[in-house]
Chains A and B, each alone.
Chain A
Amino acid sequence: MHIDARNIENNTVIEGDICIVGAGAAGISMAMDWMHTPYKVILLEGGGFEYDPQMQDLYAGKTTGQRYFPLVSCRLHYFGGTTGHWAGYCSPFEEIDFKKRDWVPLSGWPITRKDLDPYYAKAQPIVELGPYDYSVAFWQKQFPSYVPLPIDNEVIWNKMWQFSPPTRFGMKYKDTIVNAKNIHLYTYANAVDIKANDNISAIEEVTVKNLAGKQHTVKAKHFVLACCTIQNARLLLASNKQAPKGLGNDNDNVGRHFMEHIEIKSGELWLEKPNPLDLYMNDFVTTKARAELAVTEKKQEEYRILNGTTSLSPLEDARKFKSMIETWSDDVKKNEQLFKSFDDSAKKSKTKKAYNSFELFTRIEQAPNPDSRVTLDTEKDALGMPRAQLHWVLTQLEKRSIRKIHELLGQELGKAGVGRVKLLDYLWDEKDESWPVFTGGGWHHMGTTRMSADPKTGVVDANCKVHGIANLHVAGASCYATAAAPNPTLTVIALTLRLSDHLKGVMKL
């Protein structure tokens, strides 16, 4: 069922069993998981079904610290959320990503990879992926030309990615959601405030507003914030009428530990003989799966480095493109054209089959850092809500890790007689703490309501419930305790489905 919140009587009280705030990958996945149940689910979407610049402007905010993309265009503010422009990269986190690592501050989740495995399997079809099998052997059976580099898997291994078409949730699941009898989708319903009971132990209602001047109240037994990492933190911080520091923020963790994947060109691989390296290629159009080179858990531990992977692209193609941080616009439409130019270029480049030089491109986790954070600005948006402000901070651990990963790659590829690796010049001097101008992220926002068993070091518990508040949950990458290397969407959905199962248990479904 769909209701446009601009068209209902002002001050309507909307009631349901579960209220999901946000209709992106997490919110829609959760809502679909509750279809055909006896429970009434309220799904709130701030925007409509189409892109609207006025709605998008509600996501605008300032950034300081490490140069970052304009916040206004990092996330899409309409039904389907940022799946409207995601690239479809999917891979699960590894076991090490959930572990306490004494060289990574604040690392360690209160759950393990095994806890998420069944939900990863369940998430795969939602984003139209193949089977939950990320082994090279499986994909080599499908594509015999997928030949791994002859490297020592005790040091470097091939981490597989699968590619979603990419699934645009707004298009793919609109009819499913709108036609579901027990799902009540409200568009143009921006959550601007959360009201708790007197002792702030449970949430009573959420206030929603729109630019048509309407304000409504949503009451439910359970509330799930699924409006993305920056907005989840913003909403909790802005809900400060009862708790001056914001809801769930007794220990000053909300908004802190903002993490990104540093995505940056990092080196070159030169082979003696041209090789197609099909296993590692991605044409952005038809590729179902590919591998990236990753350092084993054992070696990460030995060298005390972060988890990251390195992808390969033909150097002659890669050199045509500037980095995203240098080209990304605050205009969503221009960015769509940018993505299209990559697709077109990828199609053209398929004429050549083998190369002897490749660009090495790193995606690596950022260590949790309390100074890297989202706060509220003094400036307010058109609905009267303080805008988000992001202060992105990197540390030397990230840079040292990128350097070490490439040194290890160089050693292993040299040992195998395959080729030689060249680090880009910003990595040459191990004492150099600066980052080059093309340092960017993957638009992967994580960590502002991090998961921890201890309320002193996290906002949500192992079930994604906000510490100290009985019926307030958070879905999405804001719950990540650490960022791992993979793009976050698959894990967002898996974690959300796990939360969904937990809520079903609580509600005795």
Chain B
Amino acid sequence: MNRCRPPHPCFQKAFAGVFESSADMPADFNWAVGGEAGDGIDSTGKIFAQALSRAGRHVFTSKDFASRIRGGYTAYKIRTAIDPVESIVDRLDVLIALTPRTIEENLDELHQGSIIIYDGERTTMENVTIPEGMVGVDVPLKRLAEEAGGAIMRNVVALGAACAVTKFPIENLDSALEKRFSSKGTALVENNQAAARAGQAYVDEEYDIDAPEYHLEETDADYVLLNGDQAIGMGAIAAGCRFYAGYPITPATAVMEYLIGRIERFGGHVLQAEDELSAINMALGAARAGARSMTATSGPGIDLMTETFGLVATSETPLVIVDVMRSGPSTGMPTKQEQGDLNTLVYGGHGEVPRFVVAPTTIAEAFWKTVEAFNLAERYQTPVYVVADLAMAVTEQTFPHEVFDMDAVEIDRGRLVDATGLDEWSVDGKFTPHAVTDDGVSPRVLPGTPGGVHMSTGLEHDAFGRRTEDTSVRIEQVDKRQRKFDVAQAAEPLEPRSFGADDADTLVISWGSNEGAIVEAMELLDGPVRFLSVPYLSPRPDLTAAVEAASQVIVVECNATGQFADLIEHDTMTRVERINKYDGVRFKADELAAAIAERSQMEVPA
């Protein structure tokens, strides 16, 4: 037990010893703020992440949270470094603990020399025990906040204290506070900045902390900081999406919250539907009318949308449907990570429905794959699933702004025909919206076009869109719709993202948001690994050659049964090993390195 309260006579000595014993700190720094839901943890964490980003540091955040408005435990964690960071690790260097439970929940990540900032004057924290070897920094957060203008700024005082222990230039925090509060007036901004300074001054005066390993240096770099849901929303607007209908569901709601207030500036509209059945049908209606249209949901919503998904495909309507996966089945663990929807996205629905399933592997890719999804949807007149997951959706990450180069966005509306092109695609004066073509793609005319009148239906239909049960027309239309995907398989760049040594014996394959953790895990391993990160699940790249070339194949994914591993085995007719995680927490680089090492001849050097 090491309960240091200034001016404790043993403090300096104890502190010095602690840091001497942990001289081998890596260049990254791990920080968290934790408390009860309702304590403002999320916004506090975001402000600090923003400050780090303003300081030209890379940031990768994660959240521990429970599905309730108040109570429970919630934490916002930040990993930061000068170099890009793409994963979380099992280590916490500085923790702001608003509750005793915050310390308990993080005992496995705290280590010798970790600094715990807390308010010893808070009733629940009075008798808190700082674990052996760690450093307690007791700051009267509430009292200092009250002096600065209000107890509500308690967390900002703690951020100031965090600046003090990390020697982080507080001007960056000023700037983040201004961004957060400027819409509410300068007085509020200034009060918060004063509160932060009070926290910083208190620590500087009462403690003599010398922890160079934790010093947070600035760089000249300019980064943007955003999460996966925001990247999807921004990608949608960039791609020309003008209509969005959705029903709130964790963790997809933030896509709708991003779009509302922004898409209107580009002539679009967001509508909160009464349920997911309605949301997808509204989106379908808008798409039939000719707007680029999207809905986003999570697994339970996908279940409800599945019947209409078949209609979208059969009526050959371009539509983007985003699944931000969470832990299932049923209500499952709605605020926890999982990649359990793969089978339902690739196979779900009655009858046989060819479809695109695109799974971005990073937050930046979430932007670009959303843009691409809209182009695929219109090029092939078909629904496209974009698959993200909770870990990606709620993680804030820094990128150079050039990554989101709007000038590089291209819009391809496919075989869209106006009134002048109708003749070419008409038979006996009637337009053929389902004309049988070599590539399976038919001409598309938008309602309002003179002379293009036609009906679209979920019934099997002929080239004109008229209902039919004619056996040869049925075969023709089924084959035509399938042919689009055969063409896409050959024409679209579906290659996986490739990392590591091409000739390594160990091949790791994964999909979705695991990419960053795997790339970092490879750096921790002492042997060569080839890693293929697959963003296309249907149609998908043929990995047979890569699988056959490796002596060991490991498929990594966040589900219990290995749904992607099943697909790989199906495609390549080779058995693969599996690393599965389904405890609700995303992969961490260090645990993943250990798991890969355990299955191979490699080790993770201490």
Q: Do A and B come from one complex?
A: no
What is the interface of chain A, defined by CB distance below 8 A to chain B?
A: none
What is the interface of chain B, defined by CB distance below 8 A to chain A?
A: none
